[in-house]
Structure 1
Amino acid sequence: ASTAALLSPYSDNPQNSGMITCRAEDLDTAFRLAWDYGYTVELHSIGDKAFEIATEQIQKYYELGKLHLPPVITHCQIIGVKGMERISSPQFPQLFLNIQPQFTK
């Protein structure tokens, strides 16, 4: 389907870098609502660009002191070295990755 949001274009389709399905302002609203109601945030991420956007938002709310519970990133495919380094940093907040084995083959 070539819909994973990637930082670089698909090798077999150089005009396509996938798609982002949630606008930044909508993501921000979701985080604010979760904070207001005391819920955790769970994001769906496929692709290194999607993972970067998700972790940037998590970092932002962590720095604002607005994460009640550890956030969750579901699906977590194609996160890249940069993404792994980012979440492995001692400065990054606790995070749960919900990896679905049927998609790792």
Structure 2
Amino acid sequence: MTYEELIKELCDVIKESEKNSVAIYENLESIGDMLNDSKLPVHKLSKINDSISNSFGLLQHQDMHRQKIERVVNFVCENKNIDSSEYNIASSAKHIAGDENNEVLDDDELEALIKSMQN
């Protein structure tokens, strides 16, 4: 598999992930709105709202994984002199303000990840 083929496959995953994330987010908001208009008992509403909130958290976690894939794609494009503009992805942030997560990959870790994918 060439780097270009690998990047295309990863970009397809990124785009599908973004599309699904938007649909999930909109569905959860719609459910929340319907619940606010319902006559369910408070304890049941609270339980359902907790589940919706947990789902938003999982969605955010999934988005962090999508961003990691974007970082790998951008790293490969940059280091293999591949024109990333044809893949229509945004440049990725190395660090997001307020992010206290230690899961940020440095360049050496990215390179090791890419090499392991080639095996």
For normalisation by structure 2, the TM-score amounts to 0.27
Higher helix share: 2
Higher strand share: 1
Point out the structure with max Rg over C-alpha.
2
For normalisation by structure 1, the TM-score amounts to 0.30
Higher relative contact order (CA 8 A, sep 6+): 2
